[in-house]
A and B are shown apart, each in its own frame.
Chain A
Amino acid sequence: MPKLIIDDIAVEAAEGVSVLEAAKSVGITIPHFCWHPALGRAGACRVCAVKLLDGPVKGIQMSCMLPAQEGMVVSTTDPEAVALRRQVIEWLMINHPHDCPVCDEGGECQLQDFTIACGHGTRRFVGPKRTHVNQELGPYISHEMNRCIQCYRCVRFYQEYAGGSDFGVMGSAGKVYYGRFESGQLESPFSGNLVDICPTGVFTDKTARFRARYWDYDMAPSVCPGCSVGCNITPVARYRELLKIVARRNDMVNGWFICDRGRFAPKGVNAPSRPRTSLVDGVKTGREEAMDALLRRLGEVAELYGEGSIAVVGSTRLSQEGATLLPLLAESISAGALSYGLSAAESRASSGAISMLTLENGASIADVENADCIAIYESDLREEGPMLLLAVRQAWRRGAPVLLVGENSPLEQVRGVGIEAVQLHYMEEAPLAIFERPVVIAGMRHGDPRVMAVLDRSGARVACLFPGPNGHGAALLCAEHGGIPLEEALAKGKVKGLVAVEADIPAELLAGVPFVASLDWRETAAVQAASVVIPTAAWVECDGTYVNFEGRAQRFSRVMKPGLPIKELDPACHPPRIHQGDPPGGDILPSWQVMIEMIRLAGEKVPDGPFSGSWANLTSLDPEGEGEVIRGRCRRDS
């Protein structure tokens, strides 16, 4: 651990870090463009200049390129270093257009920040600027090459980190151009990260162009609901409309990046057809009345069809709060069946996984990145967990062989990240034992649950890709409370009343059920079939918890208040001439709170909050922390 002095502050730097990182560790930000924590250094922008006053190296140096060494005395404020940085930024700004007012990056632009930080305020250059022709890069990303400062971050991410081969850097010297051979949609499933990683406005999110400025955003730490990986994100909203999704760093999960599916998937939260008011037989009503009607009709079903004719159905997208309260709701209305999922196969796979996983044998994304051999078992990671593909590539870059096992592991998935892989038929063929840090990524859509025993004996760490963002949490609760898959419950023919809580149940499964009620924020088949509908808050409209594939419980925070987006309000009724605290359509509770209200109405004892007993430790999860790994609590032999 080298000891050095930076701006009169004694710093003990970690082994191998640069002077720039050492300075950062004590709160000194040295301007930088080409250096990025996930990509390392390039020495391309020259803006991180510092002066070394004493020690093994002296004079002006690039702090990102220089490893922190014992005895260094570094000054970031030395007049020579300050002057150099000012000249470099002035030179970088020579060709940069003065278009900040019409640039989507304005306000969240690293180039703006560091131009000011380097002390360049007045442009002296009066010559013509170099200009470029932009490309059409598809529906998600805008291209504005004139803003480019040639830091190479985009191409280093796209080609080296993500293995893309259709975007790169062309030309040389003053005519360097970042783009494709010709216009066309970027092929990498991680292309959206160009928006995050570009220090200025060359790449901006086309889906949210010209909608809001950074200081107007509603933002909060959140977790992506796209799959079971649980990438950390910052959703950005304005006027109760979700505008865009930005990656949020969590080194234990997604690192700095997210996939395009998570970023650009259609935002159901904004769907105009979303259930926004409680309905009883299609008639708008208040929530209390709807809950009363729901309980009354469930009573009628029980009376007519007898004990145990009611099923309560959750899902793998229901937050852990909701999933935890589901058994209490089932008890309060004397339900005969509790389901966390639909299919028996999926349920077998999930229960097989949770009874195999332990704290020791479960794999995180970091374990995948550091693996020396990776087997992808019966999975197309593009569907089941795209970010794992990016992690697999990092391991492959360090030399780990990649094995694709089974007929549902297509070769195309690894081509998208530019890696080679060997295809095998059976898990038993994978020579995992000869490696030190093997990892198996097991798909659960097509995987045979019996393979879990093979994996358990293999000595490899295992990542099981559960369905849905809370598949792992739902499976743990399902095991704890004896849940059964809905298909199985319906097959017995006893279910005559069904309460779907954020559950996607196809219409054909509902056809034989006389009474259906739905608590949801999506317009699902269950909502359409339901006699009683109670809207719930979407994930960005409430706090909640998802337990990701590895069993990491992660808290997400409310980004915006529930309510009708301003653009959906009738302009003729504006401004509203009544006084109210909540926005129009804002009287919506998260599903777990609706369930608590129902339990109260049913006359049962109401829990203080969603988590109690062995789940109480989830109450204090920090949304900005790394989450808490809870896997292994269902292991049969423990």
Chain B
Amino acid sequence: MIPEALKNELKARVAAAVTNREAAVDVMKRLQAHYGWLTDEGVHESAEILGMTTLQVEELATFYEMIYRRPVGRRVIHVCDSISCWAMGGESLMAHMAGHLGIGVGETTSDGVFTLLPCCCLGNCGEAPTMMIGDTLYGRLDSARAGQLLEEERAAVMGEMEGGR
């Protein structure tokens, strides 16, 4: 269950929107941030806050690739597999990430830090190949830079977890 304060804040967000539906992505992202992923409970809560049915929320939740309806790691890595990145070595980048993390595409590392997902264009074609880790976008990647980024992100996550204790 989400805290009352968050619920009230989101209800105010919905009230300020011209149509409830346009606030749906904001609401889902906030609940996802709260739970770590958009749980079934989160879908029910989103529906209640938005005045929509659970089905209507699910239609949107399953359409957007950055709304996660299954558990994910602390940082989700989206590696672009669209045409520009593919032409600039996106496939090797994805293979390198998978190899480095020791997981397949769509999987989460055993320490729960990273989930690796393909993604259809991050709007960063000029910087191809590109990927997103958490909320941060990275471009012009090669395997050395990608490995270095993973180490940095892992350290940051560990720091957050330490801080959280």
- Residues in chain A within 8 A of chain B (CB atoms): 165-172, 177, 180-182
Contacts and interface: CB of A to CB of B under 8 A. Distances in A.
A169 B59 contact: yes
B56 interface: yes
Contacts, number: 30
Contact of B56 (A165, A172, A177, A182): A165
Interface in B61-79: 62-63, 65
Query: Across chains A and B, which 6 residue pairs bring their CB atoms closest together, nearest first?
Result: A181-B54, A170-B62, A181-B55, A165-B53, A171-B62, A168-B59
Given A166-B55, A167-B55, A181 B62 contact: no
16 contacts: A165-B56, A167-B55, A168-B58, A169-B59, A170-B59, A170-B62, A171-B62, A172-B62, A172-B63, A172-B65, A181-B43, A181-B53, A181-B54, A181-B55, A181-B57, A181-B58
Contact of A166 (B43, B53, B62, B65): B53
B63 A180 contact: no
Contacts of A169: 59
Interface of B: 43, 52-59, 62-63, 65
B55 A168 contact: yes
Nearest to A179: B55
Given A165-B56, A166-B53, A166-B55, 8 more contacts: A165-B52, A170-B58, A170-B62, A170-B63, A171-B62, A171-B63, A172-B63, A172-B65
Contacts of A166: 53, 55
A513 to B, nearest CB: 53
Contacts of A182: 54
A371 to B, nearest CB: 26
Nearest to A173: B120
Looking at chain A's contact residues, the main secondary structure is loop
A530 B43 CA distance: 59
Contacts of B53: 165-166, 181
Contacts of A168: 55-56, 58-59
Contacts of B57: 181
Nearest to A155: B59
Which of the listed residues B43, B54, B58 has the most CB atoms from chain A within 10 Å of its own CB?
A: B58
Contacts of A172: 62-63, 65
Nearest to A172: B63
Which of the listed residues B43, B54, B55, B65 has the most CB atoms from chain A within 10 Å of its own CB?
A: B55
A424 B38 CA distance: 42
Contacts of B56: 165, 168
A177 B62 CA distance: 10
Contacts of B65: 172
A167 B58 CA distance: 10
Contacts of A165: 52-53, 55-56
Nearest to B43: A181
